[in-house]
Amino acid sequence: MLLTKELKRVNFYLARFTNCFTYRKELTMSLIGKQIGDFKVNAFHNGEITEVSKESTLGKWSLFFFYPADFTFVCPTELEDLANNYDKFQAAGAEVYSVSCDTEFVHKAWHEESERISKVTYPMLADPAHVLARNFEVLIEDAGLAERGAFIVDPEGVIQVELVTAGGIGRNAEELLRLLQAAQFVAEHGDQVCPAKWQPGAETLKPSLDLVGQL
């Protein structure tokens, strides 16, 4: 009986992952440059239940990292990767928020059960009412789950980076950190842009007519 239930759970998530591309095709507008909507949700953070709102996230850079569900497959590898790089995000003046449609109590249970998730010290936002998933347009309506969406938001609450992958494709925390640093650089130096693979301290570009056809 237990094996049958687990097989059903596996088939459920595999079916949802397969449908991710179909859902994204229905979305036609980018969220880049848009202000995030108001929200107030509970979170599991450092062994306690806390509250996080839009207002509390303003004033610093944020990474909202959506994933389908706790106790699944790719998700713990991604959250562990973020945990291993969390100090670098903090050093860059940014906060990391993982988000799924599970409750804060499921987050707590997962944190206590999983060796990978036990490393997480950033806030794990609970979105059972789908407020954030709808806010960032990553909700898979028929499943009640979030897609793998990563959004870098500036201190004013404006989305500067949007990345969404299919359910079976994990993301790279170091690349998200690089994108954060590039977004911060561009925000500070409005007349310069960051080329491919740019890293802090590397050469940037200053768009001008003189550069046309020279690259």
Give catalytic status of residue 194 as yes or no: no
CATH number of 80's domain = 3.40.30.10
Query: Would 44 be classed as within a structural domain?
Result: yes
Q: Letter for the amino acid at 19?
A: N
Query: Would 215 be classed as within a structural domain?
Result: no
Q: How many domains does the chain have?
A: 1
Query: Would 10 be classed as within a structural domain?
Result: no
User: Where are any strands of DSSP class E within 18-91?
Assistant: 40-45, 48-53, 61-66
- Domain that includes residue 44, residue range: 19-210
Give the Cβ contact number of residue 159 at 10 Å.
Answer: 20
Query: Would 53 be classed as within a structural domain?
Result: yes
Whole-angstrom distance, CA of residue 41 vs CA of residue 132: 8
pLDDT tens per residue across span 46-90: 999 999 999 999 999 999 999 999 999 999 999 999 999 999 999
Query: Would 184 be classed as within a structural domain?
Result: yes
Residues ≥6 apart with Cβ < 8 Å to 114: 71, 76
Task: Considering the candidates 20, 75, 101, 194, report the single residue annotated as catalytic.
Answer: 75
11 falls in which pLDDT band (50, 70, 90)? low
Query: Would 132 be classed as within a structural domain?
Result: yes
Query: Would 174 be classed as within a structural domain?
Result: yes
pTM: 0.87
State residue 15's pLDDT score. 53
pLDDT tens per residue across span 167-198: 999 999 999 999 999 999 999 998 899 999 99
The answer to whether 65 and 82 have CB atoms below 8 angstroms apart is: yes
